[in-house]
Amino acid sequence: MKRKVLVIEGDGIGKEVIPEAVKLLTLLGDFEILKGDAGLECYRRCKEFLPRETLEKAEESDIILFGAVTSPKGVKDYKSPILTLRKTFNLYANVRPINNFGLLRLEGYLGKNKFLDVKNVDLVIIRENTEDLYVGFERELYDIAIADRVVSKKASERIVRFAFEYAKENKRKRVSCIHKANVLKVTDGLFLKTFYEVAKNYKIEADDYLVDSASYLLIKEPERFDIIVTTNMFGDILSDEASLLLGSLGLAPSANIGEKKALFEPVHGSAPDIAGKEIANPMAAILCVAMIFDYIGKKEKGNLIREAVKHCIEEGKVTKDLGGSLKTHEVAEEIIKYVTNYE
Ligand code: NAD
């Protein structure tokens, strides 16, 4: 039976990059594609950010490919569709590959004519998606605001094992645990202890860093890191920090993986500043498709897509964010051309 993929384009550049990614998905694989609505435009049409119909389609799908949605301003009780999907389907592992495909000089966030010299960065951040301070147990006691941090043995074991299995499958050498166990002795103490217990079962190097030191080293010596595993909030912050090493959010894909299904989404948002201009970089969305092929065990197809992206970057066949002049669909066409020649 064909695997079902629910495609949710969302808003802004989600509508531009996801259709290009779907071209790769259908070119290299045999999937049943469903379409779902979500986001701000959807809310304007039907007063829901994530309609029940989309949730039902997600339920019957094996895989979800999600673009990006614009967060509304001033809507009380807004629940992000992506958070709802992660929670509903218990997508406990967030995976963010940070691979700059050997690019050396990037004109990115630093501004025009300011370059960031980046070595060949190729690391993966694996973040626990269900616990930590993000469980939302917050309250006020007079003028004190309190948040509870939850770290369980079960969820820690699950994410650490996921990280080592990922390392094994992808022939990675080292897994580093990032924590703050010197201060958060109980919660991160448990996470760190669990990390080394699980590590004993694998012939893969294991080490650990304090989160403050890791955030410094991530920029200074990114080559130190191979696979990073960490708790929810540290992972959230570190993975956005690490995106800087890519020079553009247009190169950052991600996956949210659960026991039964997985959701893939480019890290970037709906980018209203460039939406409709045909200059959005489709590579992050296309790299999500590579991750989908990895997920279903067709790693050779995932690798082919990554090779095609690398080729386009080397040849300067890129959008404006990476210093090129191609339009969104032209980059996708170049990737498709490469893939078609080598398939
Ligand atoms: P953003 O990621 O949309 O954009 C940040 C900057 O990066 C912008 O200058 C944008 O032009 C650039 N950029 C992003 N993706 C790019 C691409 N593919 N190619 C070229 N340049 C790209 O973040 P933002 O501007 O802070 O957020 C815009 C909206 O998206 C907000 O409403 C935010 O809440 C939402 N958002 C949604 C998601 C999601 O749906 N998963 C994630 C992040 C932000």
Q: Averaged in consecutive runs of 10 residues, what is the pLDDT profile of the chain (343 residues)?
A: 95 97 97 96 91 96 97 82 93 95 61 63 95 90 95 98 96 97 97 98 97 94 94 93 86 95 95 96 98 96 96 92 93 97 80
285 C-beta closer than 6 A to ligand 1: no
pLDDT in the model for residue 49:
93
| Ligand 1 atom closest to Cα of residue 273 | 11
Q: Which of 341, 261, 265 is nearest to 307 (CA)?
A: 341
Q: Ligand 1 pocket test: which of 249, 267, 288, 325 has the largest number of ligand atoms within 8 Å of its C-beta?
A: 249
Return the number of other C-beta atoms located less than 10 Å from residue 174's C-beta.
Answer: 15
70 C-beta closer than 6 A to ligand 1: yes
Is the distance from CB of 266 to CB of 68 less than 8 angstroms?
Answer: yes
Catalytic-residue membership of 30: no
pLDDT in the model for residue 220:
86
Q: Which of 194, 190, 199, 224 is nearest to 209 (CA)?
A: 224
Please give the structure tokens belonging to residue 285.
């969305």
pLDDT in the model for residue 293:
97
Q: pTM (2 decimals)?
A: 0.92
> How many A from CA of 206 to the centre of ligand 1?
34
246 C-beta closer than 6 A to ligand 1: no
254 C-beta closer than 6 A to ligand 1: no
- Catalytic member of 11, 62, 236, 321: 236
pLDDT in the model for residue 73:
87
Q: Which residues contact 209 (CB under 8 A, 6 or more apart)?
A: 176, 177, 178, 179, 217
50 C-beta closer than 6 A to ligand 1: no
pLDDT in the model for residue 110:
58
Q: Which of 206, 224, 203 is nearest to 160 (CA)?
A: 206
| Ligand 1 atom closest to Cα of residue 13 | 18
> How many A from CA of 268 to the centre of ligand 1?
4
Q: Ligand 1 pocket test: which of 43, 270, 286, 328 has the largest number of ligand atoms within 8 Å of its C-beta?
A: 270
- Catalytic member of 109, 212, 260, 342: 212
> How many A from CA of 270 to the centre of ligand 1?
5
Amino acid at 302: G
Catalytic-residue membership of 148: no
- Catalytic member of 4, 122, 134, 337: 134
pLDDT in the model for residue 63:
98
Per DSSP, which regions of the chain are E strands? 3-10, 31-36, 63-68, 93-99, 105-106, 116-117, 122-128, 138-141, 144-147, 174-179, 205-210, 227-230, 253-257, 262-266
